[in-house]
Amino acid sequence: MRLHSLTVQAFGPFAGTESVDFDRLGDGGLFLIHGPTGAGKTSVLDAVTFALYGRVPGAREAARSLRSNHAPPGIKPEVTLEATIRGRRLHITRSPSWMRPKKRGTGVTEEKAKVTVVELADGEPRPLTNRPDEAGQIITDILGLTLDQFCQMVLLPQGEFARFLRAEAKERKASLERLFNTGVFTQVEDWLVDHARELGRAAGGAESAVSRTADLIAEVGRAPRPDAGPSTDGGTDLEALVPWAAELTLVTAATAEDAGRVAAAVAADRGRARTALQEARDLIERRQRHEDALRSETALAGRADERRNLEAELSAAERAAAVVPVLRTEEYRRTELGKADLAAAERLALVGDLRAEDPDAAAPAEPTIASLQAAERARRDEVARLEHLRGDADRRACLEREIEALDRRVAAARRELDQCRARAGELPGQRAALAAELAQARERTGSREAAAEALDLARQRLEAARNCVRLRAELGAAEQRRIDAVDAAQAAQEALLDIRRLRIEGMAAELAGRLGTGRPCPVCGSREHPEPAVGDAARPTPEDEEQAQRSAEAARERRARAENAVTSLTERRSAAEAGAAGLTEEEAADLVADRQRALNEVDAAATQAARMAARLDELDAALDEARDRDSELSRELAELAERRTARSEEAARLTDRLTAAVGADADLAGRMSRLSGEAELLGAAAEALRQRSTAREELRGAERESARGLAEARFATAEEAWAADRGADARRTLRERARAYDDELATVRAALADPELARAAAAPPPDLDGLRSALDAAEDAAEHALTWHDHLARRAARLSDLRTELDRGLSGSRPARHRHAVAEGLARLAAGTSQDNRESVRLSAYVLAARLERVVAAANDRLATMSGGRYELRHTVDKSAADGRKRNTGGLGLRVLDAWTGQERDPATLSGGETFIASLALALGLGDVAAQEAGGADIDTLFVDEGFGSLDEDTLEEVMEVLDSLRDGGRAVGVVSHVADLRARITTRLRVVKSATGSHVEQTG
Half-sphere exposure of 895 (CA within 13 A, CB side): 16
62-88 pLDDT, tens digit per residue, is: 445 788 888 888 889 999 999 998 888
Cβ atoms 33, 990 nearer than 8 A: yes
198-250 pLDDT, tens digit per residue, is: 887 777 777 777 778 778 888 887 888 776 555 444 445 567 778 888 888 88
Cβ atoms 427, 615 nearer than 8 A: no
| Least trusted range by pLDDT, from 90-104, 167-181, 278-292, 462-476 | 167-181
Residue 589 pLDDT > 50: yes
288-307 pLDDT, tens digit per residue, is: 888 888 888 888 888 788 77
Domain at 2-144+937-1004, CATH homologous superfamily: P-loop containing nucleotide triphosphate hydrolases (3.40.50.300)
Average pLDDT over residues 259-283: 84
701-712 pLDDT, tens digit per residue, is: 888 888 888 888
Cβ atoms 607, 362 nearer than 8 A: no
Q: In terms of C-beta density within 10 A (0-12 exposed, 13-18 middle, 19 or more buried), how is residue 299 classed?
A: exposed
Residue 148 pLDDT > 90: no
pLDDT at 882: 47
Average pLDDT over residues 600-620: 77
* Highest mean pLDDT of the ranges 23-32, 200-209, 226-235, 936-945: 23-32
* Separation between Cα atoms, residue 872 and residue 862, nearest integer Å: 10
Strand partners, 975: 32, 944
- Ranges of H-type helices in 122-168: 132-143, 147-150, 158-166
Residue 578 pLDDT > 50: yes
pLDDT at 505: 66
pLDDT at 91: 94
Residue 675 pLDDT > 50: yes
Residue 540 pLDDT > 90: no
Sign of CA dihedral 766, 767, 773, 777: negative
| Least trusted range by pLDDT, from 90-94, 113-117, 179-183, 496-500 | 179-183
Greater confidence, 1003 or 176? 1003
Percent of the chain with pLDDT over 70: 85
> Whole-structure pTM over 0.85, yes or no?
no
| Least trusted range by pLDDT, from 382-396, 454-468, 612-626, 872-886 | 872-886
Rounded to 10°, the helix 241-301/768-831 angle is 140
Greater confidence, 551 or 585? 551
pLDDT at 418: 81
pLDDT at 968: 62
Phi-psi region of 525 (alpha: psi -120 to 50; beta: other; left: phi over 0): left
* Separation between Cα atoms, residue 12 and residue 21, nearest integer Å: 19
Residue 174 pLDDT > 90: no
pLDDT at 233: 44
Q: How far is CA 382 from CA 54, 290, 367, 387, 676, in A?
A: 97, 98, 21, 9, 9
Average pLDDT over residues 25-54: 87
pLDDT at 95: 93
Average pLDDT over residues 669-681: 79
Residue 533 pLDDT > 80: no
Q: Which of 960, 956, 910, 962 is nearest to 162 (CA)?
A: 910
pLDDT at 360: 46
Average pLDDT over residues 786-797: 86
Cβ atoms 626, 424 nearer than 8 A: yes
| Least trusted range by pLDDT, from 67-76, 648-657, 767-776, 788-797 | 648-657
As annotated, the residues of the chain forming the CATH 3.40.50.300 domain(s) are 2-144+937-1004
Average pLDDT over residues 898-917: 82
Average pLDDT over residues 811-839: 78
CA angle (794 as vertex; 791, 797 as ends), nearest 5: 150
Average pLDDT over residues 937-960: 67
Percent of the chain with pLDDT over 90: 5
pLDDT at 17: 93
Cβ atoms 19, 45 nearer than 8 A: no
pLDDT at 590: 86
Strand partners, 104: none
Residue spans of beta strands (DSSP E) within 192-264: none
* Averaged pLDDT of the chain: 79
**pLDDT band per the 50, 70, 90 thresholds, residue 588:** confident
Average pLDDT over residues 527-551: 72
